[in-house]
Structure 1
Amino acid sequence: MINYTLKCDKNHRFDSWFKSAEAFDMLIKKSLIVCSECGSTNITKAIMAPSVSTSRKKDEPRKEIQTKSKIKNDILELKKLIDDGIPVMPLPFLPAKKTN
């Protein structure tokens, strides 16, 4: 499915979904797409911003920064404890709890 922003010759804009680009072209050629405001069949595609899909989720960089920040803070706390003469020992890694 493809979502196009369309406009008529009187500059009315509206969105519509099409099965494919070919389906859109066929409907335009047959004048089957009509402006809902004025009834014009002189329809063209309006300029649209592309919807870019990336493999990386938007929150990944933020989570990476938070994780590195937590590790850095933990190291600073450990250094303070060692400077104060308090012995420290690393604990085994425990995975974060996951909820459904």
Structure 2
Amino acid sequence: MIVLDLKCDTGHVFEAWFGSSGDFEEQKGRGLVECPICGSQKVGKALMAPAVGAKGNRKSDTPAKGNAPVPMQSGGEGSPAEMKALLSKLAEAQAKMLEKSDYVGKDFAREARAMHDGQQDERPIHGETTLDDAKKLVEDGVPVAPLPLPVRRREREN
């Protein structure tokens, strides 16, 4: 799992978690990465610098925080610390919501449509679908929405 600081085209800097750098690129390519503040999908990696401790023969006024990424510039409404706190709360809320939801994998569009059409009992679900299939669901009045943060699939956990 990696943490990336991302920045949208309007200047908002935010933090996001991904299974790998490749997962970020794949999700971005599928249109699944967007700014949580303004919704822009024009998102890239923000300029970051690692927190590097002082040389061994120098005394530092503040202790280093390991190798945590530190954004070099901020933008938008609120400091990076405030944004990280808000995203942390969002991640907690999403995790709590997903505890009561069934993961249906790549069958998401079929399952959502079947519930909408009355062919299955309604229940909270989450899963994966293509952007085209998601748009078709919305056009047909099926109540769906993207999750605000990426979800680590159980089969990928160690």
The alignment's TM-score, normalised by the length of structure 2, stands at 0.32
The alignment's TM-score, normalised by the length of structure 1, stands at 0.49
